[in-house]
Amino acid sequence: MSALYLAQDPTLADFGRDPWWLVLGKIVFAFVFGLLATLLGVWFERRVVGYMQVRPGPNQVGPFGLLQTLADGLKMAFKEDILPRAADKVVYFFAPTISVICAVTALSVVPFGPMVSIFGHQTPLQVTDVPVAVLVLLACSSMGIYGIVLGGWASGSTYPLLGGLRSSAQMISYEVAMGLSIVAVFMTAGTMSTSGIVAAQADGTKLDFFGSQITAPGWYAILLLPSFIIFFISTVGETNRAPFDLPEAESELVAGFMTEYSSLKFALFMLSEYVSMVTMSAVTTTLFLGGWRAPAPITTFWAGANSGWWPLLWFFGKVLILVFVFVWLRGTLPRLRYDQFMRFGWKVLLPINLVWILVLAGLRSIEDWERTDKLVAVGIPAGLLLIATLFWPSRKPQPKPSLQEQADSRPHGSFPLPPMDLQVPPSPRTKRVVAEREPANIAAGSDSREV
């Protein structure tokens, strides 16, 4: 890697030296990014899903409907705020703010770019970084569960309580799979610092492709493909997005833990979901997609792609692609049953994660294991095998039984069934009349026929 790139990589020693106004500016930048990304994310989701369903989506308020989300927020803010009589007023008020604060706080350790010059001060485009920054991300994600559980409990109603309990079990279960998938990143990068993980993905991978040398990105999404797949599935379950949107299953739980919320508090819960979606997209970009670094094909013909303010463009582009995948899943897949969802997390993702970590630990004991071409040779086949395992049909589809077979399979004494041909049987009087006329018809030489 050239000296230009090395000069742009921030280290832990570069943090804690900025003046107070610069630190405040970076905090405001991270907060505004989360807020604006959320507002545009709601509009983006409604437009993309509308396109998938062959309908226009929001297109009346503002150009292309861009102000529709702002109008909806103002509408909810001015709605009547109803407080349940049996609610715990203090906890009921603070529960939505806990979810929003935890989601926004996670952006404080996400690197948005390299070292830049702001009013003559060399500073990294990151609020702060610590040696265990990834654990800070996991802690913020775990604390967000308290907002949902307390919101359901403090409402003083049965349905929110059931929704909160079901949500806590779901999010804690997939928190385990998410944490184990990051272990592979620690083992490969050798650090828990987010800026250090981005720097570890700087070098491309030289691969022999049918006799020609090509340079692939050194992203952990390629080197550690199974971890990337499991981590992204876990983030979808962690953020309560479809097909794992069980905490807010309106058809089952009457909006789940948010049933008794209205007005601005309801808007804060909805805002926290979209902030979490944007935050987890940024975390996935940092851990597995090279962070703010440009893809390897761009850096081969543009030496300054990773310097200055250009990395903000690559970072926002990767986040936008991941948000699109979140929306794509919502517009494509149906909601899973709760037992299927929990079985998938504990009996599929967790064992595969443990086996993959064991394989990486074995590779670590081999000499020269850190060569990225060896990791690619193991990671890509393992990831493809994981995808085949997840999507392989578990059993052959059984032929649908006929109506007669369904009737015969019913236990004795069940409720009576109508005739399979859906014809009304003849009455006893009709049978008697037919029996009386049959001898006369035979004697007259005419054919007998049924009524």
Q: What's the pLDDT tens digit per position in 382-438?
A: 777 777 766 665 666 677 777 667 667 766 655 555 555 555 666 677 777 777 777
pLDDT band at 158 (very low <50, low <70, confident <90, very high): confident
280, 39 contact by CB (below 8 A): no
Compute the average pLDDT of residues 176-188.
Answer: 89
Average pLDDT over residues 35-60: 90
Inform me whether the pLDDT recorded for 4 exceeds 50.
no
Phi, psi at 2, each rounded to 5°: -75, 165
Give the amino acid at 439: P
Asked whether residue 450 carries a pLDDT value surpassing 50, the answer given is: no
Confidence at residue 244, expressed as pLDDT on a 0 to 100 scale: 83
Exposure string over 108-127, b if 16+ CB within 10 A, otherwise e: bbbbbbbbbeeeeeebbbbb
> Which of 111, 198, 178 has the alpha carbon at shortest distance from 138?
178
Give residue 28's pLDDT band: very low, low, confident or very high (50, 70, 90): very high
R_g (Cα) of the chain, nearest Å: 30
Question: What would the pLDDT profile of 292-306 be if each residue is shown by its tens digit?
Answer: 998 877 877 887 888
pLDDT-derived band at 209 (thresholds 50, 70, 90) equals: very low
Q: How confident is the model at residue 449 (pLDDT cuts 50, 70, 90)?
A: very low
State yes or no: pLDDT of 445 exceeds 70: no
